[in-house]
Chains A and B, each alone.
Chain A
Amino acid sequence: MVSRPHGGRLVDRVARGSSRQRLIEEATEMPKIEISESLAADVANIAHGVYSPLEGFMLREDYECVLEFMRLSNDVPWTIPITLDVEPDEVRDVVPGDEVVLIYRKVPIAVMRVEEIYPWDRKEYAMKVFKTVDPSHPGVARTMKRKSMLVGGQVLLINDPPEPFERYRLWPKETRVLFEARGWRTIAAFQTRNVPHLGHEYVQKAALTFTDGLFINPLVGWKKPGDYRDEVIVEAYRALIEHYYPAESVVFSVLRMEMRYAGPREAVHHAIVRKNFGATHFIVGRDHAGVGRFYGPYEAWEIFKEFPDLGITPLFVREAFYCRKCGGMVNEKICPHGNEHRVRISGTKLREMIKRSEKPPEYMMRPEVAEVILRHPNPFVE
């Protein structure tokens, strides 16, 4: 049976029919707040239940509880604050109780009932969420550029933000129906921001061996320079699934959500989000959502001990490598051989090969996947 939504209820804050029409008309008279691509994605994720039980951007009490205790004020686990930042000028004439319209690329996408406007401490946020204030951390750098006030309140979606990958975008209510239709009782979700190499394939197939279905759910949206472009990730996965996965055991869809590089906290956030899609298990990789050397390689595994009430089972699958003596992909738990026989698949090494237009060896990456990536003139975010 698919997972129960986080907090017990799948949120649906999408205006439909005549009430949507009325809101669109009323919105022309409301104060406007222009929002970024990442915030527009957050609005849609709230409205379509990806962030259940959140119904809007966080109020101060939830924000502080999440920062301090990694839980909402009602004690439900939640590790990354979901907030709307503004400059005081943008809400000069707005008071709690007012409705404002959120605008993305000149299109009104949601109406928000403002419940609270409050200041926040970006450094404190960085220290709690990223465990550092080092500006070389991409999440910290991005946080320090955010605006000085937060606005909390429920949202009601009136227009979905544009999605270039609409063909591959599913919302939780859709994946839940899909998993049920396929008769899956156990679903392992895989989060990624990378193109797949053989290590990823090994981890996914190890999880699929013990579950009914595999849900591959890459993030699209803002990523740091040097990461793979969204279209490259999508095409690479399509190639891998087409050639190497049993179609009836895999669901592939994209999730538009900003990568925060918050390591352990973000690992839990990723698990909660996939629980809302109906997944029962979540694969937590080595240095999950990490960047550089800011987090220990298995720190993201440790944090799950603090959430016995998470409602989704983390699967801690060790990093896979190729062992010449074993003659295949293995991990340190099942391979007795020494380092001299092991070939580690380094993402950095793969990136360097691709930058030089070199095809990586087949024990690192499937040739069909490599071809798709190499076809792109520049597969990396600049």
Chain B
Amino acid sequence: MRMSDKVQISIARELYEKAKRFVEEQGGFSSVEELVEFLLREVLSEEESSYTMSKEDEEKVKERLRALGYI
């Protein structure tokens, strides 16, 4: 990702310090920025998860699964 695609945001220092400690102690993230991006993406992707199948489509899928012996 290019730097120009990034924006700055402000969060409470106390929260930042807590996040910094979390990153240092838990591992898995290289910076607070990476942690924040991960958490935001998790929350937002749940919102964006728009795939829902209509009842009719679901029934069609189930019919095929039954015909093939899966259910």
Contact = CB atoms under 8 A, between A and B. Distances in A.
B37 A75 contact: yes
A251 interface: yes
Given A167-B68, A174-B61, A309-B38, A9 B53 contact: no
A75 B36 CA distance: 13
Contacts of B58: 177
A9 B51 contact: yes
Given A9-B51, A308-B28, A4 B62 contact: no
B49 A182 contact: no
A177 B61 contact: yes
A33 interface: no
Interface of B: 1, 28-29, 37-38, 41-42, 44-46, 48-51, 53, 57-58, 61-62, 64-65, 68, 70-71
A52 to B, nearest CB: 9
A185 interface: no
Contacts of A379: none
A47 B45 CA distance: 20
B51 A181 contact: no
A150 to B, nearest CB: 20
Contacts, number: 53
12 contacts: A4-B46, A9-B49, A10-B51, A12-B51, A65-B1, A75-B41, A173-B57, A177-B53, A181-B65, A182-B71, A308-B29, A309-B42
Given A75-B37, A308-B38, A309-B41, A174 B48 contact: no
Contact of B45 (A7, A167, A174, A181): A7
B68 A8 contact: no
A307 B70 CA distance: 33
B48 A9 contact: yes
Interface of A: 4-5, 7-10, 12, 65, 73-76, 167, 170, 173-174, 177-178, 181-182, 251, 305, 308-309
Contacts of A305: 28
Contacts of A308: 28-29, 38
Q: In this complex, which of B28, B44, B45, B48 has the most chain A Cβ atoms within 10 angstroms of its Cβ?
A: B45
Contacts of B62: 177, 181
Contacts of B41: 75-76, 309
Contacts of A74: 1
Given A12-B51, A174-B65, A309-B42, 14 more contacts: A8-B49, A9-B48, A9-B49, A9-B51, A75-B37, A167-B68, A177-B53, A177-B62, A177-B65, A181-B65, A305-B28, A308-B28, A308-B29, A309-B38
Contacts of A178: 65, 70-71
Nearest to B44: A8
In the complex, the 9 A-B pairs of residues with the closest C-beta atoms, listed nearest first? A8-B45, A10-B51, A308-B28, A8-B48, A177-B61, A8-B49, A309-B38, A181-B71, A174-B61
A311 B38 CA distance: 11
Nearest to B58: A177
Contacts of A12: 51
A305 B49 CA distance: 25
Contacts of A10: 51
Contacts of A75: 1, 37, 41
Contacts of A170: 65, 70
Best-buried of A5, A12, A309 by chain B (most CB within 10 Å): A309
Nearest to A10: B51
Nearest to A76: B41
Contacts of A182: 71
Contacts of B51: 5, 9-10, 12
Contacts of B48: 8-9
A305 B58 CA distance: 36
A9 B46 CA distance: 9
A56 B60 CA distance: 26
A376 to B, nearest CB: 24
